[in-house]
């Protein structure tokens, strides 16, 4: 049995539905469509699927998807908590299942009518009974009901401490919008964003404005994980999982880790960084492109520091130098990301990481892409992954 997940497994297929503001179909339909598409992409039959992983927030049961697509008998099914923090976590679980022989073909999916159905931006409410809901009870009475309000508290402190400006956040949003202009699937396709428009847009939760927020989206995205050895013989160029981990640190809360000594860094992302770099035996200099989780633009600048692309407080300089652009040091979210492609809770950022390894992104950087870093939700228990070329 392997003692490390390094290079044991690979992503052999990605599948996406159309992204829209009103799908007109059920979330089960979206799930079935994206899972089938991932199988088609890999060149295998859905009858070969023997494992599923999704988010606790996903409304569609694994067995419903299994029946819909005609999956095999399932020997592995699992769910990850904490919203977008689950994204890479689903891959971590799939990789463990494949590497240990619990399953051979695991599909991770997230399907949501995120605009026409349950909207994240509509806030939390409900009977206070579970430990999770008691957690929210410290914020709900004061009017902190939406993810933007929870993140804004951290963003404001971070920007104050390091002299990060609204223009810096705007640079992130515009960079990703520029990527989306090349991607016909993206919300931002054909919709250029200027700094003037960014700065004039309405403030939602200061310092965050409309364009700092991701796009509530209807859609589904599925990722097919199998062994690296098998992936070599399938239809697509494999994206080998060099390293993958989940990460939650001391004082962790869901979105509101406000009670740690300092609030200007992301300890869980720093933990994820340490673990994936150690597992892959790589460092930040080896990473050619990234799909950093971007529910909010401020999260990108902080993660540049968490993952060691610069020192604490210097993320703003990288952004000002154009590091995130297609010809920059670290082309980031080259599909437009959650901000400008669509918010499929981070699964679509994993799909883009795979495209970057394959060389098929609409925002493919004009350089060799050997390693891509992908991260999960910010401000929550999270995770990260390094994808690489087959050797």
Partner 1 sequence: MGLDNAWWWQMADEGKLGIQRCLGCHTLRHPPRPMCGDCHSLEWDTVEASGRGVICSYTVLRHPQFPGYEYPLIIVLVDLEEGTRVTSQLVGCTPEQVDFDLPVQMLIQQDPDGFKLPVFQLAGVA
| Residues involved in catalysis | 293, 343
By beta-carbon proximity to partner 1, the closer residue of 298 and 362 is 298
Distance in Å, CB of 206 to partner 1, minimum: 4
Q: Would you say 31 or 154 has its CB closer to partner 1?
A: 154
Any bridge partners for residue 133, and if so which?
none
> How many of the other CB atoms lie within 10 Å of CB of 207?
18
Task: Give the residue from 163, 157, 189 showing the smallest Cα distance to 176.
Answer: 189
What's the min distance (Å) between Cβ of 320 and partner 1?
23
Q: How far is Cα 17 from Cα 23, in angstroms, rounded to an integer? A: 10
Contacts of 15 (CB under 8 A, 6+ apart): 33, 34, 35, 36, 37, 38, 39, 40, 41, 220, 221, 222, 223, 224
Contacts with partner 1 by CB under 8 A lie at 121-123, 128-129, 131, 134-135, 137-139, 141-146, 149, 152-154, 156-157, 160, 202-207, 256, 258-259, 263
Compute the least distance from the CB of residue 152 to partner 1, in Å: 4
Tokens standing for residue 146: 């939406």
Torsions phi, psi of 86, nearest 5? Answer: -80, -20
Give the DSSP H or E segment for 243. Answer: strand 239-247
Min CB(149)–partner 1 separation in Å: 5
CB environment 98-123: b (16+ within 10 A), e (fewer): bbeebbbbbbbbbbbbbbbeeebeee
Residue (202 or 233) nearer to partner 1, CB? 202
In DSSP terms, 80 is beta-bridged to 55
Q: Which CB sits closer to partner 1, 47 or 203? A: 203
Burial 350-359 (b: 16+ CB within 10 A, else e): bbbbbbbbbe
CB of 115 to partner 1, least distance (A): 14
Question: Is there a contact between 306 and 328 (Cβ–Cβ < 8 Å)?
Answer: no
Query: What's the min distance (Å) between Cβ of 110 and partner 1?
Result: 24
CA dist 226 and 247 (Å) reads 23
Nearest approach in angstroms of CB 379 to partner 1 is 13
Toward partner 1, which CB reaches closer, 57 or 263?
263
| 156 versus 364: smaller Cβ distance to partner 1 | 156
Q: Which residues pair with 141 in a beta bridge?
A: none
Nearer to partner 1, 144 or 292 (CB): 144
Nearest to 22 by CA among 89, 117, 102: 117
Q: Smaller CB distance to partner 1: residue 173 or 205?
A: 205
Give residue 326's Cα distance to chain centre.
19
Q: What angle do CA 124, 130, 136 make, to 5 degrees?
A: 35
CB of 121 to partner 1, least distance (A): 7
Residue 285 contacts residue 260 (beta carbons within 8 Å): no
Q: How many angstroms separate the Cα of 61 from the Cα of each of 29, 157, 216? A: 12, 39, 22
């Amino acid at each position: 049995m392997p003692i490390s997940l390094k290079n044991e497994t690979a992503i052999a297929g990605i599948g996406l539905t159309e992204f829209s503001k009103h799908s007109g179909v059920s979330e089960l339909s979206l799930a079935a469509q994206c899972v089938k598409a991932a199988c088609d992409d890999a060149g295998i039959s859905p009858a070969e699927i023997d494992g599923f992983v999704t988010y606790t927030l996903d409304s569609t049961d694994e067995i419903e998807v299994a029946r819909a697509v005609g999956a095999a008998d399932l020997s592995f099914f699992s769910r990850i908590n904490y919203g977008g923090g689950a994204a890479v976590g689903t891959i971590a679980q799939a990789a463990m299942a494949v590497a240990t022989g619990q399953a051979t073909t695991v599909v991770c999916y997230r399907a949501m009518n995120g605009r026409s159905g349950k909207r994240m931006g509509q806030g939390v409410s409900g009977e206070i009974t579970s430990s999770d809901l008691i957690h929210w009870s410290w914020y709900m009475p004061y009017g902190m009901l939406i993810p933007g309000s929870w993140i804004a508290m951290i963003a404001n402190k971070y920007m104050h401490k390091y002299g990060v400006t609204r223009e810096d956040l705007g640079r992130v949003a515009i960079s990703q919008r520029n990527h989306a202009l090349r991607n016909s699937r993206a919300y931002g396709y054909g919709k250029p964003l200027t700094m003037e428009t960014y700065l004039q847009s309405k403030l939602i939760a200061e310092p965050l404005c409309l364009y700092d927020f991701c796009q509530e989206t209807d859609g589904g995205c599925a990722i097919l994980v199998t062994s690296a050895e098998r992936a070599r013989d399938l239809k697509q160029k494999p994206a080998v999982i060099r390293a993958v981990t989940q990460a939650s640190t001391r004082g962790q809360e869901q979105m509101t880790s406000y009670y740690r000594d300092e609030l200007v860094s992301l300890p869980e992302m720093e933990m994820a960084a340490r673990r994936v770099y150690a597992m892959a035996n790589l460092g930040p200099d080896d990473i050619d492109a990234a799909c950093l989780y971007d529910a909010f633009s401020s999260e990108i600048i902080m993660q540049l520091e968490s993952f060691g692309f610069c020192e604490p407080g210097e993320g703003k300089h990288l952004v000002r130098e154009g590091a995130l652009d297609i010809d920059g040091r670290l082309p980031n979210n080259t599909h437009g990301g959650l901000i400008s492609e669509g918010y499929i809770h981070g699964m679509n950022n994993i799909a883009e990481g795979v495209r970057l390894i394959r060389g098929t992104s609409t925002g493919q950087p004009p350089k060799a892409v050997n390693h891509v870093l992908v991260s999960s939700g910010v401000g929550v228990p999270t995770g990260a992954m390094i994808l690489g070329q087959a050797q």
